[in-house]
Amino acid sequence: MPESTDFVALQDPDVIEGLDYWRTLPIKQQPTWPDASAAEAASAEIATLPPLVFAGEVDKLRERLAAAAQGKAFLLQGGDCAETFAGATADSIRDRVKTILQMAVVLTYGASMPVIKMGRMAGQFAKPRSSDFETRGDVTLPAYRGDIVNGYDFTPESRTADPRRLVQGYHTAASTLNLVRAFTQGGFADLRQVHSWNKGFASNPANARYEHLAKEIDRAIRFMDACGADFEALKHVEFYASHEGLLMDYERPMTRIDSRSGLAYDTSGHFIWIGERTRDLDGAHVDFLSRVRNPIGVKLGPTTSVDDMKALVDKLDPNREPGRLTFITRMGAGKIRDELPKLLEAIKGMDANPLWVTDPMHGNGLTTPTGYKTRRFDDVVDEVLGFFEAHRQVGTYPGGMHVELTGDDVTECLGGSEHIDEATLATRYESLCDPRLNHMQSLELAFLVAEELGAHPHVRA
């Protein structure tokens, strides 16, 4: 029996043929490469490079997500809206991982529930856009579609799609994932380091609250240590990589056949989601991702009909496999209480059990008069609360949270206990796409969700 890490180039011809069926279907949000043969060559090169994740890891994640869908775990998924090549530095990767680990500690402790940790990391390089073009003054150029496609600088050269970026995207994902694996497997994520994850971040109320929690955890660990407990399990953290499966010239060559099962895995990440703009039932993305074994997410915006949702279940999870399908709702704070319960009621009538996750970011965008894309922290919080309310009302499980965040002290979202206002946004706005919660706002949100999940009284303010 081959190892689970083996991927073979060719097996069942029907499986292989199916993986290219998307090419016959309508497709959205792909770049126009100036030289199609150069893009084909880049994809062919990627197809020869090693997988980034292994089938066995992907299967384990599916089991973890199945537990979350049953209310026995909670998914925390976070990271940049658009990762950049320049941002793949040791410090930036470490601080994002630390932020997610801290949030996970707050949630695990507060909710007494396992937390599945997942980064929008190591592949979140391709962006769908509302418009193909961007105009500044009297100059119009192609929109920035993420570092794997073109550059952010507003010049014709930079904005021209460059297929060499596909290969650079692979290598940047590989080095990011390598460091994430080192951090999470090599002792850094050991729960006994719970204090040190807070070091280096500006001191602020959320950090102080975290310190208080970390002290409690420390005390509990010392007690267990004195009792002779074995801490082997605390040394390593399972950390999964995820991104939007958007750019087919990257996802297709990263898809390999697992030699154990003869089935296809998209080895660019453990979890792949389909965006709100590309979830057409008869479109290329849904077809392609219906054929890979990875757990698949689908973003659901406020206009999602019950019929659309049901058809997505049938297409992406025909066997009703636990952990296979995650719906990531991003309705907007003002709409979630009206729109989500209908979908939840309808799912109760099907024999399906998807994992429900809230993305409180993408339905709450606004642009300031000075041109900054931003979100109000209060709206983010309100959507999360609406998500929990909807699930309580219908009797389904609120199984996770998907957020755009960074470990840096950026000023991209309005509000939070630092009271970031419109004038402050300019001081440290670094995102090339959507605004992210900064370190402190991320921790604040984690405390709030922990309370919602039935927090430990000591964790409450």
Ligand X SMILES: O=C[C@H](O)[C@H](O)COP(=O)(O)O
Ligand Y SMILES: C=C(OP(=O)(O)O)C(=O)O
Name the residues that contact ligand Y, by CB under 6 A.
Answer: 81, 128, 244, 275-277, 299, 330, 362, 434
From Mn ion, ligand X, ligand Y, none, which one binds at residue 256 (CB under 5 to 8 Å depending on kind)? none
Shortest distance (Å) from residue 83 CB to Mn ion: 11
Nearer of residues 130 and 319 to Mn ion, judged by Cβ = 130
Q: If DSSP states are collapsed to H, E and C, what string results for 328-378?
A: EECCCCCCHHHHHHHHHHHHHCCCCCCEEEECCCCCCEEECCCCCEEEEHH
Question: β-strands 133-136, 365-367: how paired?
Answer: unpaired
Shortest distance (Å) from residue 363 CB to ligand X: 10
Residue 81 binds ligand X (CB under 6 A): yes
Closest alpha carbon to 397 in 314, 322, 456: 322
Rounded to 5°, angle at Cα 413 from 407 and 417: 80
Residues numbered 17-56 forming contacts with ligand X, rule: CB under 6 A: none
In the chain, what is the greatest distance between 2 CA atoms, to the nearest angstrom? 71
Tokens linked to 339: 């729109």
Rounded to 5°, angle at Cα 276 from 95 and 394: 90
Nearer of residues 81 and 141 to Mn ion, judged by Cβ = 81
Residue 434 binds ligand X (CB under 6 A): yes
Residue 81 binds Mn ion (CB under 5 A): yes
Shortest distance (Å) from residue 277 CB to ligand Y: 6
**Residue of 433, 437, 449, 450 interacting with ligand X (CB under 6 A):** 433
Shortest distance (Å) from residue 375 CB to ligand Y: 12
**Residue of 62, 98, 117, 127 interacting with ligand X (CB under 6 A):** 127
Q: Residue 219 — φ and ψ, nearest 5°?
A: -60, -45
Nearer of residues 19 and 149 to ligand X, judged by Cβ = 149
From ligand X, ligand Y, Mn ion, none, which one binds at residue 332 (CB under 5 to 8 Å depending on kind)? none
* Residues 304-343 as x/- pattern, contact with ligand X by CB under 6 A: ----------------------------------------
CA distance 334 to 377: 14
CA distance 438 to 425: 12
Nearer of residues 67 and 148 to ligand X, judged by Cβ = 148
Shortest distance (Å) from residue 29 CB to ligand Y: 9
CA distance 265 to 186: 27
From ligand X, Mn ion, ligand Y, none, which one binds at residue 130 (CB under 5 to 8 Å depending on kind)? ligand X
Dihedral angle, C-alpha 32, 36, 39, 41, nearest 10 °? 180
CA distance 75 to 66: 11
Residue 362 binds ligand X (CB under 6 A): yes
Residue 247 binds ligand X (CB under 6 A): no
Closest alpha carbon to 451 in 214, 209, 198, 193: 209
Tokens linked to 456: 């430990």
From ligand X, Mn ion, ligand Y, none, which one binds at residue 110 (CB under 5 to 8 Å depending on kind)? none
Residues numbered 426-445 forming contacts with Mn ion, rule: CB under 5 A: 434
Nearer of residues 244 and 287 to ligand Y, judged by Cβ = 244
By rule CB under 6 A, what count of residues binds ligand X? 8
Single-letter residue type at 192: R
Residue 412 binds Mn ion (CB under 5 A): no
From Mn ion, ligand X, ligand Y, none, which one binds at residue 330 (CB under 5 to 8 Å depending on kind)? ligand Y
From ligand X, Mn ion, ligand Y, none, which one binds at residue 129 (CB under 5 to 8 Å depending on kind)? ligand X
CA distance 413 to 380: 10
CA distance 294 to 324: 7
Tokens linked to 317: 């999870």
Cross-strand partners of 116: 75
The residue at minimum Cβ distance from ligand Y is 275
Rule CB under 5 A: which residues touch Mn ion?
81, 434
Rule CB under 6 A: which residues touch ligand X?
81, 127-130, 362, 433-434
